[in-house]
Structure 1
Amino acid sequence: MIRIFLMSSILLCGILANSPALHVSSYDTDECIQVGKTTLYIITVRNEGTAICTQVVLENYIPKNSAFVGIKGEHKHEFVEGCVVFSPIASLAPGEKVTFYVRVKSTELGTMKNTAVISCHELPKPIKVEEMTTVSETREHWALHIASYDTEDPVFKVGGRTVYVIEVRNEGQKPCENVVLRNILPKGMKLQKATLNKDDTKYNVQNDHIVFSTVSIQPGEKVTYRITVVTEQAGFFINTSLLELANGSIHTTEQEGTVVLDKK
């Protein structure tokens, strides 16, 4: 089974200290489902910044090998050509959050990929999170959970340092073999150090790509990647982590956004 969580994705709005900062988390309620069964995708959006975020919109694209069953809750919505479009949330104050629920039913064996696209008036670009679940004949599979965050405040200054932390855990019943994490640093940030489970020898750098050594993750085991960077210029930056198997297939993309201010 392939079950990927895309969590802790953050986009920051503008380059001022007084800015909204959207934290988006997505997951489903089942480790593995069988054909004809339903699952519930839960998308939570929270404003962790210091200013209001307005006209927050969720467009949820249901997996191709599934059928839309409905939503949970009172949010107004419409279903258009495979996409659940929720009515805009007028504003999201600092510290406030909103949660959306989308229920789908699997229609065939394979991998289901649910895609949620969040936008608001202040964002320079939308944020996309994907949730992948395998539809199988049995429930005995591996299930990868991935979470990402950085260690500094969402907004900081040129010359500052932050650490991107990416945690991958196998929540299934079988080992997951040949897992590779490829991290793409944004231009304007310089790598200082990278570690895999505190070992700084298990990676190599290919241009702006940091490729970690292949690992096998046992049921219940967690591996932690830490990437320390220094900012070299002001702007809006997105760090991207790709979780792959050794055959090159990409199972998830995790993004972490950061605003960097001038030193002044």
Structure 2
Amino acid sequence: MSKKMNLKRSLLGSTLAAAVLGFVTVSVTSLQAQTRPSDRANPPSQNYPSLPSTDIVGAAPAQSAQSAPVHSEAPVPAPEPARVAPVAAAAPQTAAPATAGSQFRSNLYTVDKTLVSSTQVGGEYQYRLRVTALENITNISVVEHLPEGLQFVGAEPEAKVSGNDLRWNWDAQSKGEVRDLLVTVRPQTEGNFVTSSSVCVDPVVVLPLFAGSPKLEIVKTGPATAELGDDVPFRITVRNTGTAIAHQVVVTDTLPDGLTSSSNLTTEVGDLPPGQSRDITVVAKASKGGELTNVASATFAEGQPVQARSVLNIVESRLGITKTGTPRTYIFKNATYQVVVRNEGNTTISNVTVTDDLPKGTSVVQTDPATEARGGRLTWTIPSLAAGQAQSYTVVLTNINPGDTVNGATATGSAITGKTLTARAEARTEWEGAPGVRTEIVDTVDPVRVGQTTTYEIQITNQGTFKPVNGQIKVTLSEQLRPISTGGDSQGTIDGQTVTFPDVLLDPRRGTKLRIEAQGVKPGSGRARLEFMSSFLDEPVIKDESTFVY
């Protein structure tokens, strides 16, 4: 009984996290493991809790506990005694070697020792020492002590060897990180061998500190082209792409000569947190053509200003059209019209469509370029019309109805700004029915003696059926006759040998009757000449009436 107690006391000196390797025919009733003191002065007390039991693993047949020889190290004093749980006696067995292990746990880390492979005396045994960080730790030191009779073969990673001690050191280990140390040994004799491990760490208390900095980014967008005189919208976006608040942010839009605006050009954004942005809209009117550069800038308290530029091309897109034609003609005759479409701007106009609306009652005689009328309309297309370029069209119409007609032509096209351009021109034509006027002058007495009188009866008749006819009437007497008086539908004016009647307007199928009384004053063949002039005539209609004076 005292022999068993002595064996237990000799094993109480085992160090932290002991793993026991059993060989051949060794058997013990119990084995205790206790904490081995650290080489570092005054380590935290929480690094040294109680250790669990340690198993003995071997391949030899079981013997009684009283006859089993035991090899153990002398106990090493620990800073604080650790409570050790007893190890149950190994059951008799003949099976192959099994894995054995032990564990040490603190609130900062755990240490696990596990037998990986075993054989017999003279063969290689391998076990693993695993350190798992439960928190962030630093200055990790592991010392593995091998007892006498257990030859060191190798370690992975490589260890510093000093006598029977193996040493590993590393600077830090993050929470959750695992470090494995593989040790290979060779037993020289039969017996129980107890390896001991000392693990010492420094805890790390972390206080996260972050120092950010603001960074502004500014973007200015707007149309690439705009029409002269149009309102042009610009969008300014200022964004904090940094990691700290940008304070006292101010956005300023500087308009070039040629752009004017009633918008607020300076905006106080204030504080702009990281990742946030602010949009600002500025509307400017284009008052000058050409390429204009618009600059927007943003300032803030912590850094240098940032700028963004927007280049705008101010163009003048203008489509023009003219139409001329026959102002007056007769029905059943032709009227010719000329349509000219011209790009009066400084940019190309695309997809130009030209239409000519035919007046009611007219019909197409000819077009150039040739096209057909559809739905009372002529249509031509121009794919592209360069600045200053023109295109002409000729249209010949006829009409069967008298009256005035208005012939309108329209041109539409697309500017490079997307704006739809439209122009329209008209030509007016007066279609007249062909006039027919009959003029008559007859003397009532012929021949006439000197001193006697004769009367000339005049009748002017509009034989047309479509419109009134205007006219001027004049009668001239030869020297054998002298006008005395006038009469009829209107009174004439006598001036020497000439009689003039007021202008007349003769409705269709209507006429006027006039009268001139003349006296024979000189023997001979006298003559009265009637002249009728109208706006539709190129020259007067002349009728003569002879009267013999004796």
Scaled by the length of structure 1, the TM-score of the pair is 0.43
How high is the TM-score relative to the length of structure 2?
A: 0.21
